[in-house]
Structure 1
Amino acid sequence: MKSTLYQSLKELLDQKIENLDIFTNNFSKQKSDFNPKEQKKLHAKEWEIFKLQKKFQNYLNKIDKSILILRIDFIKNEEKILFFKDILKNKNNFQKYENKIKILISEIEKNKLKIKILKKEQKPYFSFYKLNAKNKQEIKKIKQEIKIIKNSNIENLNLKIEKLYAKNNELDINLKIKNSDLNKFIKLIKKAENSLINKSKNKIKDMAFIIENLSVYYGSKKSLFNINIEIPKNKIIAIIGPSGCGKSTFLRTLNRINDEISNFRSEGEILLNGKYDIYKLKSIINKYDKIELTELRTRVGMIFQKPNPFPISIYKNVSYGPKINGIKNKSLLNQIVRDSLQKSALWDEVKDNLKENGTSLSGGQQQRLCIARSIANSPEILLMDEPTSALDPIAAAKIEKLLLDLKKDYTIIMVTHSMQQAIRISDYTAFFYQGKLVEYDTTEKLFKNPIQKRTRDYVMGKFG
């Protein structure tokens, strides 16, 4: 990125923000409200900044993509360096390769014997054919490596290694430049966004959700009554209360899963990031800034009570969402799968078995796979409906530890029947009773010193 391009865009943004400030300040001095023509002018000025913001985002995406390509090239070069070094190390030592071949040949013979026995007993034996095919392929690979080592020239190998190191030094410099460009555009995007936020309704920027006067109906039956709550970003919020109090209804309203129920309707306002009205699917700041329902459900992921991995491979479970969203590049998908499984603390357990069916994992592993599947879509918020209730204590403890790690990157809103779990891991707790939000506070305060008598009775176990 040329610095002149960045500088010209920065100057253009500063000018647009200054124009917007002057315009709003002039009219704020007047006693009367804006008339429609003035409102239209204001929206036009906001739209100019919004378009610039989108332009910055496009540049940001391009830089982000180029950084990923550079990183992949860097890793490939490192793998080649290790390969060439291994060749040099084993130039005069073929014994370990020959031993490997002997072991594989021995396994092939054993499998042949098993096949004969199984044929006589009329039992399934096809899996042993597959094992032998795999072993033969491995022998072929080892023989090719021996051939490469025998034909390789030490001087040429050292020269190749030097060139690869030089390439990686260049890549490292380019990565630093690209990261610097990335940070510059991030600052411009934030500056544009802040200029629009400052002209918006007086909403808190650091909130994942701002919910005002939310009521929910199923036909004529009212399930939630005038819920008002603000949910901060990068915190764990526990939703507690007796069965049938509206916890899950509230949770499923936040990404509009309840829309699938024919007689469902809602009243009130739910703002995503204090900005997007999730039912109107547009910004309260700028009417031109809209989101799709699919984007909302991508940004607000859902983990259910019972693990529900797809009956396909672990790899396909995690890559399914990104593929649906248009990502086809194999290297990028591999990176997403690896990152998602690492974030969900599952990578080390499954990295050698990514082709295994997701349903073959244990209950706790399946739930972490479902979390990885959701993370792969790059959500901002994770909704969890009793994510550990179907798990044994050890698996549940792993999920709790994982959630504490994840809150650095995500807001987690979790329905739980376990008050001990809420105390252990949540930052805030909301107590629901008969469709009403009775009390909402920091977890420590709500459990140690609740304001409402009903809350006190519930946390002390007098009912529920």
Structure 2
Amino acid sequence: MKSTTYQNFKELLNKKIENLNDFKVKNNLLKNKINIEAKVLKNLELKELEIFNLEKKLQKNLDKIDQKILKLKTNLLKNKEKILDLQDLLEDKNNLSKYKKEIEKKSFEINQIKNKIKIFKREKKPLSAFYSLNYKNNKEIKKIKKRIKKINKCKENKISIKTAKLKQKNNKIDINLKIQEHDLNKFIGLIKKANNVLVKKEKKIIEEMAFVVKDLNVYYGTKKALFNVNIEIPRKKIIAIIGPSGCGKSTFLRTLNRINDEISNFKSEGEILLNGEYDIFKLKSIKNNYDKLELTELRTRVGMIFQKPNPFPISIYKNVSYGPKINGIKNKSLLNQIVQDSLEKAALWNEVKENLKENGTSLSGGQQQRLCIARSIANNPEILLMDEPTSALDPIAASKIENLLLNLKKDYTIIMVTHSMQQAIRISDYTAFFYQGKLIEFAPTEKLFKNPIQKRTHDYVLGKFG
């Protein structure tokens, strides 16, 4: 990509941003867009559209550079493979005797097998295995002879010249690669600059949210389960999701880390942003197309605790260390520290520290659920999804889990489906009320229970239906 192309784009973008800012100053639009005249608003939108269209052109150039980089890297790899082949050829040329010995060995084996065939023929025993061995040996001899022929054809000086030329090509590719990668970073910078202008107002609100859900619709086959859900879930708070059975609470929860994807007839529409940056359906950043998010990474960052405790039938220690181990942590001291920290955060360490080798399934129901929370925490998540985590527990165990969640919200966002409105009142900061697949109301818990806006919310919290 010629630097003049970048320079032209840079000057054009700066000019359009300057024009937009001058227009805002002239029309007193820096603070808000309330009560703007229709004509002024239209002109403002046109100026923003110019920047948006320029951003799309920048993205096209970025894609072209990316394709060039991919092609260069492919050529670099091919040349390296050729160099290795030539080096092998040179090494073989200096060691032809090993091939000759191999041929002698195979020929000897063939003769031995021929003798065995004669004996077996007389004794009328099966011969297919011997024929197969001889066929294989003959094939290998042909292959070795072909290799020898190729080695003999090659001259040492020609191999050296070819290797030098390939290395020279790779040096040029390396230089070109650095230039292209430099251009790529410059264009990414311009796209970010354009993007920041367009999303600046919305950006601050979105980035403070653990999840921003826009126009979410969910289907199981032809049956629609969620209808146009829009919700912004703040970070490091406890969010309770309430509503009657079958209203879409668990479906919504499981969509947040795409566990529902495992259901064959599941389909979703809309957008869910993680931390205001990653589109969890497209698995990439909305700010930078080259910043990808793996599905496994999403499920690590957004952990899940189910209604019924489900510890693995292995030791308490291995339950907690399982996630870090499969993510590549092998150091024993580090694993020990992760296990202890996770169990302490789950308020279970003091109860099990002397019995870490015991099977996780030997614990009580409440302890098993806290073990599952520790197992999830060990993966260092940002968000914990909980599908009725206390419904299968006795009141004392449920109370311990509630106290644990109040402590955990300092470090994690907790989104919890619950059938207990009293539990929602006791521990949640915000509550979302779902009914027949629709989000009816979302508000601070105290406000939703004491002064709901929607009549259906009012009737539900008073126990008139459910």
C-alpha contact 2:387 2:418 (8 A) present in aligned 1:
yes
Aligned length: 305
RMSD over equivalenced CA pairs, Å: 2.9
Q: Deviation per CA, 1:148-169: give whole Å up to 9, x if none.
A: xxxxxxxxxxxxxxxxxxxxxx
| Cα displacement string for residues 331-390 of structure 1 (whole angstroms, at most 9, x for unaligned residues) | 111111011001000001101110000000000000000000000000000000000000
CA distance in 2, matches of 1:263, 1:247: 18
Aligned residue identity for 2:50:
D
Q: Aligned to 1:400, which of 402, 419, 436?
A: 402
- Give the 3 Å change call, closer, same or farther, for CA 43–448 of structure 1 in structure 2: farther
Matched residues in 1 for 2:241 and 2:235: separation? 16
How far off is 1:39 after superposition?
4.0
Q: Is the CA contact (8 Å cut-off) linking 1:20 and 1:42 kept in structure 2?
A: no
Summarize the alignment of residues 274-293 of structure 1 with structure 2, pairs less than 5 Å apart: 274-293=276-295
Q: Please say if residues 215 and 268 of structure 1, whose CA atoms lie closer than 8 Å, have aligned partners that are also in contact.
A: yes
Counterpart of 1:25 in structure 2 is 17
Shift of 1:22: 4.9
CA distance in 2, matches of 1:200, 1:345: 45
Amino acid of the residue matched to residue 220 of structure 1? T
**Pair member with larger Rg:** 2
Distance, in Å, in 2 between the alignment partners of 1:20 and 1:361 is 66
The residue identity in structure 2 corresponding to 1:25 is: I
- Number of the residue aligned with 2:348: 346
CA distance in 2, matches of 1:20, 1:248: 49
**Deviation, structure 1 residue 198:** 3.9
Q: 1:245 aligns with which of 238, 244, 247?
A: 247
Look up the match of 1:14: none
Gaps of at least 5 residues in structure 1 are: 1-17, 46-193
Q: Is the 8 A contact 2:209 2:232 kept in 1?
A: yes
Q: Displacement of 1:44 after TM fit? A: 8.2
Partner Cα distance (2:385, 2:331) in 1: 29
Residue 414 (structure 2) aligns with = 412
- Counterpart of 2:369 in structure 1 is 367
The residue that corresponds to 1:63 in the other structure is none
Q: Secondary structure at the match of 1:239?
A: strand
Corresponding letter in the other structure for 1:281: L
Distance 1:19 1:349 in 2: 65
Compared CA separation, residues 42 and 327, structure 1 to 2 (3 A): same
SS of the residue 1:287 aligns to:
coil
TM-score (norm 1): 0.61
Residues 115-126 of structure 1 aligned to structure 2 (within 5 Å)? none
Q: Deviations over 1:25-74 (max 9, x none)?
A: 347468351486654547989xxxxxxxxxxxxxxxxxxxxxxxxxxxxx
CA distance in 2, matches of 1:44, 1:336: 45
Are residues 262 and 371 of structure 1, via their aligned partners in 2, closer, same or farther at CA, if it must alter by over 3 Å?
same
User: What letter corresponds to residue 287 of structure 1 in structure 2?
Assistant: N
Maintained 8 Å contact 1:206/1:233: yes
CA deviations 1:106-164 (Å, max 9, x no partner) are: xxxxxxxxxxxxxxxxxxxxxxxxxxxxxxxxxxxxxxxxxxxxxxxxxxxxxxxxxxx
Matched residue, 1:450: 452
For 1:261-340, list aligned pairs within 5 A.
261-340=263-342
Residue 296 of structure 2 aligns to a residue whose secondary structure is: helix
Q: For residue 424 of structure 1, what is the amino acid of its counterpart?
A: R
Query: Which position in structure 2 is the counterpart of 1:49?
Result: none
Change (3 A) 1:20 1:207: farther
Aligned to 2:406, the other structure's residue is in SS state helix
Aligned counterpart, 2:235: 233
Once the two structures are superposed, the pairs formed by residues 30-429 of structure 1 within 5 Å of their partners are 31=47, 33-34=50-51, 39-41=56-58, 198-199=196-197, 201=199, 202-203=202-203, 204-429=206-431
Q: Which amino acid aligns with 2:349?
A: W
Which amino acid is the alignment partner of residue 361 of structure 2?
T
* Structure 2 Cα separation of the partners of residues 360 and 221 of structure 1: 41
Contact 2:52 2:198 (8 Å CA) reproduced: no
Aligned to 2:439: 437
**Contact preservation (8 Å) 2:51, 2:194:** no
**Does structure 2 retain, via aligned residues, the 8 Å contact 1:430–1:440?**
yes
1:460 aligns with 2:423: no
Question: Once the two structures are superposed, what CA deviation does each residue of 1:165-193 show, in whole Å capped at 9, x if it has no partner?
Answer: xxxxxxxxxxxxxxxxxxxxxxxxxxxxx
Distance in structure 2 (CA, Å) of the matches to 1:356 and 1:199: 57
| Deviations, residues 258-281 of structure 1 (Å, cap 9, x unaligned) | 000000001111000111100000
* Residue pair 1:199, 1:285 contacting (<8 A) in 2 also: no
Residues 428 and 37 of structure 1, relative CA distance in 2, 3 Å threshold: closer
Query: Structure 2 CA distance, aligned partners of 1:263 and 1:235?
Result: 33
SS of the residue corresponding to residue 207 of structure 2 reads: coil
Distance 1:433 1:35 in 2: 38
DSSP-derived class of the 1:378 partner: coil
Task: Say if 1:307 and 1:367, in contact at 8 Å, map to a contact too.
Answer: yes
The 1:309–1:197 alpha-carbon spacing in structure 2 relative to 1, beyond 3 Å, is: farther
Q: Is the 8 A contact 2:16 2:50 kept in 1?
A: no
Q: State the alpha-carbon separation in 1 of the partners of residues 386 and 373 from structure 2.
A: 9
For 1:332 and 1:27, locate their aligned partners in 2 and report how far apart those are by CA, in whole Å.
Answer: 55
Change (3 A) 1:448 1:314: same
1:247 is matched by which residue type in structure 2? Answer: K
Give the drift of 1:404: 0.3
Cα deviation for residue 286 of structure 1 reads 1.0
User: Identity percentage over the alignment?
Assistant: 78
Q: Structure 1 pair 38/222, CA: closer, same or farther in 2 (3 Å)?
A: closer
**Structure 2 counterpart SS, 1:212:** strand
Specify every segment of 5 or more residues in structure 2 that has no aligned partner in the other structure, as ranges: 1-9, 22-45, 63-191
